[in-house]
Amino acid sequence: MARRPPLTAEEATELFSELDDSGVVDPLRARDAARRKEIRDKVRREGGAEAVNKLEADHRSRRRASQAKVDPLSADDPSGSKAGEAISRMAVLCIVGVLVLVVGMQVAYGVSRRLNTANLSERTTVETVTHAMESGVEWGNGFTQFPSEFTVNEADERTGVVEVSVVDTTSKNELELLSNSQIAASALSTNALLNDKINRVEYNVYVRVDDEGNFVHDSFFGFVKGQGALRAMLTFIWTKDVSETSSTIDWQLRIVGMDDETAEKIQEQVNSVSSLAESSEVTQDDIDDMEAEQRLEQQLNGPEVFLGKE
């Protein structure tokens, strides 16, 4: 295999002139190689090798002056860029932006919720009660919302009666239905009975059940409505009685409409929940029962059983 002749000094200079200071081929310099060769030949003809060397020196100095300095041995930034600092700065800005957005949304939601909260103590009509059922009402330090499916049967300050009906689609059983509905009924009734012209609030609760009587719930975050027959479960009746002889105001709650089957299921569910919370500690009642059992054993078998005698 024939060997290629070694590169001349001029060819070596031209070859390495296509590299930048970091040792990478510069496409722009490689593209202009033919033009540089013509300029070099012209300078050589006019001034010789010394003029060519001067031309190359001037070219290198101009190139270094126009380019940013790169230190390949630098531990901080060997490429001459500040990519790490830019990425860190952008990450911090993104985190701060997300925190500001979240806090801003929470504040805006809280302000909007309080601005939209209905106040039935000032005015109680079908429109205001509907608004209260849609937007919710303040209850203690919290906020109570109502089922999305509801009907305002009556809301009139002349008769002093407010009646609404709701369809509960979130409660899993009768006990949870009683608890959730009582909280919602108390929040709505308290808000309405603070109105001097309202003295009675009825809160009717319905559920959807299947053929076996089990509760039917909505799915896919409430977008798919449960299919089932409506069944009346409970009615919470709040009344207000203003005494004519004193300054006292009596509030009363009655829960009606609960049949024997529903009451039995609630009792079973309460007992099952209570059994999970039973304590393993010995109480005074346990000691009294044990002593009574021992006295009964003594009467039946004699004291020798407990004294170790035969």
pLDDT in tens, 36-61: 677 777 777 777 777 767 777 776 67
In this structure, are strands 142-144 and 150-156 parallel, antiparallel, or unpaired?
A: unpaired
- pLDDT on residue 202: 96
Q: What is the mean pLDDT of residues 223-247?
A: 82
Q: Which residue has the higher pLDDT, 118 or 77?
A: 118
Place 288 in a pLDDT band, splitting at 50, 70 and 90.
confident
Mean pLDDT of 209-235: 79
Strand order in the sheet with 249-256: 150-156, 161-168, 200-209, 229-242, 249-256
Q: Is pLDDT at 79 greater than 60 in this prediction?
A: no
The token pair at 291 is 């002593």
What pLDDT does 63 receive? 64
**228 vs 165, residue with greater confidence:** 165
**Above pLDDT 90, what percent of the chain?**
24
Q: What is the mean pLDDT of residues 65-80?
A: 55
pLDDT classification of 259: cutoffs 50, 70, 90: confident
Mean predicted confidence (pLDDT) in 112-141 = 80
pLDDT tens per residue, range 136-178: 887 777 778 899 899 999 999 999 999 999 999 888 888 999 9
From CA 240, how far away is CA 253, in angstroms rounded? 9
Instruction: Give percent of the chain above pLDDT 70.
Output: 63
In the predicted model, what is the mean pLDDT of residues 97-113? 80
* pLDDT of the residue at 276: 44
- The pLDDT value given to residue 212: 81
> What single string gives the DSSP state of each residue in 79-115?
TS--HHHHHHHHHHHHHHHHHHHHHHHHHHHHHHHHH
Pair of tokens at residue 78: 């060997």
* Rounded CA separation 272/274 (Å): 5
Q: How confident is the model at residue 308 (pLDDT cuts 50, 70, 90)?
A: very low
What pLDDT score does 186 carry? Answer: 93
Distances (CA, A) of 143 to 16, 149, 184, 221, 224: 76, 18, 10, 20, 26
More confident residue, 117 or 211: 211
Mean pLDDT for the chain overall: 76
Q: What is the pLDDT of residues 201-221, one digit of tens each?
A: 999 999 998 888 788 877 666
Least confident among 123-137, 152-166, 272-286:
272-286
pLDDT at 89: 84
Positive or negative torsion for Cα 111, 116, 120, 121: positive
